[in-house]
Amino acid sequence: MARNVAQADASLKAGKWARTKYVGVSLVGKTLAILGFGKVGSEVARRAKGLGMHVIAHDPYASADRARAIGVDLVSMEEAMTTADFISLHMPLTPSTNKMLNDEAFAKMKKGVRIINVARGGVIDEDALVRALDAGIVAQAALDVFTKEPPAADSKLVLHENVTVTPHLGASTVEAQEGVAIEIAEAVTGALKGELAASAVNAPMVPAEVLSELAPYVMLAEKLGRLAVQLVAGGGGIKSVKVTYASARAPDDLDTRLLRAMITKGVIEPISDVFVNLVNADFTAKQRGIRVSEEKIVMDGSPETPLEYIQVQIANVESKFPSAICDSGLVTVEGRVKDVSFMSVGRIAPRKTAIMAIGVDEEPSKATLTKIGEIPAIEEFVFLKL
């Protein structure tokens, strides 16, 4: 893209010799902003630094220590938008990333920025990108993915002269296909030996009697992981996850492989730019620099019950909750929170950190959530989806 290779190739094949028309730009000294600093994003960073680029990244779940080890500065989305010469997208498509690059985002960018998207098509508002290209805000775009695939034959984006496109080739290489075949063979071999294959699509192999016994805890484990990672969003990133199991049984009698996989999946899946399943979750966490550890403690109870409780802790989560439920005991909110199913309050100790959890059957409007977050007595407000 930076050297106009595709356009120059088409021009020459059309019988033209337009050397001056396709003058490109150098990568050396340019700033690359990587949005989504997972496995793919971090690998792109390593290679970009080898090309002499200054690399910054935005990912609310990335570890600052891991980024520094690669030589990358973690920055806010605002800084990434306003300082980058190149922007490369490597995040999953979620409600929060859907059309993340829209008219408002493009308006903040440096004139002449170049966009690369080989992650998910829906993270870019394609109509807004066309407008940004026509206005000269975006100089060029290189796209391998689209909101609708295949895109329409008359797509303004695909036909734009400053856009280089490929038909979702991704990892379509001979080596990648061979790698998949090897992974499948290794996964089958590991499964036949009773091991957990790191990239298999099957769930962790545990005895049928253990699976039956742990069934009530499996979905709880994943939801605990999802809850924990949503609470840390916007913080200093995730360094490690510690899972504590309390049981009346001896630690060696408690098989927690499935629960660990579910918890790790719950933590990693919402923030990963690659597909996460039960058995590759731990491997994916390691690739993101996140350590997952387990602790088993013995407590009084019935040995007939496998677990008394499960606790999930994410490192470096600062205290986020207010010491008061409300300034005056009365809160007026414009809008309506429908069908409140429960409300629970708790605290660490008298006059110490307090938390309130409210369960609802339907998602409140954005205006209502914003209004709740503006209540002075609330130090921080987080809407969680389980």
Q: Is 120 designated active site?
A: yes
My answer on whether 64 and 161 are in the same domain is yes
Task: State pTM to two decimals.
Answer: 0.64
From 299, 314, 329, give the residue that closes a domain. 314
Determine which of 103-107, 125-129, 266-270 has the lowest per-residue pLDDT on average: 266-270
pLDDT band at residue 339 using 50, 70 and 90 as cut-offs? low
**CA dist., res. 327 & res. 368, Å (int):** 19
- Specify whether 64 is located in the same domain as 123: yes
* Shared domain check, 361 and 271: no
Q: Which of 149, 209, 304, 362 is catalytic?
A: 149
Give the helix ranges, DSSP H, for 84-125.
Answer: 103-108
343 plus 290 within the same structural domain: no
Pick from 25-39, 139-153, 188-202, 211-225: least confident: 188-202
Is residue 101 over pLDDT 90? yes
| Helix (H/G/I), strand (E/B), else coil: 31 | strand
Instruction: Identify whether 149 is a catalytic site residue.
Output: yes
For 19-45, letters b (16+ CB in 10 Å) and e give: eeeeeebeeeebbbbbbbbbbbbbebb
Find the catalytic residue in 54, 58, 66, 120. 120
Shared-domain flag, residues 305 and 231: yes
Are residues 285 and 154 both part of a single domain? no
Instruction: Pick the last residue of a domain from 106, 138, 165.
Output: 165
* DSSP H helical ranges for the chain: 5-13, 39-50, 64-70, 77-83, 103-108, 126-135, 156-159, 174-192, 208-232, 257-268, 281-287, 366-373
Answer yes or no: do 68 and 84 share one domain. yes
Structure tokens at 131: 């407008």
Domain co-membership, 240 together with 282: yes
Is 318 one of the catalytic residues? no
Q: What totals of helices (H) and strands (E) does the chain contain, helices first? A: 12, 12
Residue 106 above 50 pLDDT? yes
Q: Which of 85-99, 180-194, 273-287 has the lowest mean pLDDT?
A: 180-194
C-alpha neighbours within 13 Å on the C-beta side of residue 255: 13
Do 94 and 181 belong together in one domain?
no
- Judged by DSSP in three states, 376 sits in coil
The amino acid occupying position 165 is V
Residue in 131, 160, 168, 347 annotated catalytic: 168
> What share of the chain in percent tops pLDDT 70?
85
Are residues 125 and 86 part of one domain?
Answer: yes
Cα separation, 202 vs 279, whole angstroms: 7
- DSSP labels, 335-374: S----EEEEEEEESSTTS-EEEEEEESSPPPHHHHHHHHT
3-state class (DSSP) for residue 60: coil
CATH number at residue 235: 3.30.1330.90
**pLDDT per residue over 131-145, tens digit each?**
999 999 999 999 999
Task: Place 45 in a pLDDT band, splitting at 50, 70 and 90.
Answer: very high
CA distance 212 to 129: 51
Rounded mean pLDDT, 286-314: 83
What is the residue type of 312?
A: V
**CA distance to 4, 9, 85, 108, per residue, from 111 (Å):** 18, 26, 9, 9
Distance from C-alpha of 347 to C-alpha of 357, rounded to nearest angstrom: 12
Q: Give the range of the structural domain holding residue 187, as residue numbers without chain letter.
A: 174-202
The CATH number assigned to the domain holding 14 equals 3.40.50.720
Per-residue confidence at 21, pLDDT binned at 50, 70, 90? very high
Residue with tokens 């295949």: 150
Other Cβ atoms within 10 Å of 145 Cβ, number:
22
191 and 227 assigned to the same domain? no
What is the layout of strands, in order, in the sheet containing 73-74?
Answer: 73-74, 54-58, 31-35, 86-89, 113-117, 138-143, 163-165
Domain finish residue from 297, 314, 331: 314
Reply yes or no on whether the pLDDT at 336 is more than 50: no
pLDDT at 232: 72
Q: What's the distance, Cα to Cα, between the start and end of the chain in Å?
A: 41
Q: Are residues 15 and 159 in the same domain?
A: yes
pLDDT value at residue 4: 92
Tell me the three state secondary structure of residue 327: coil
Task: Give the count of domains, the chain.
Answer: 4
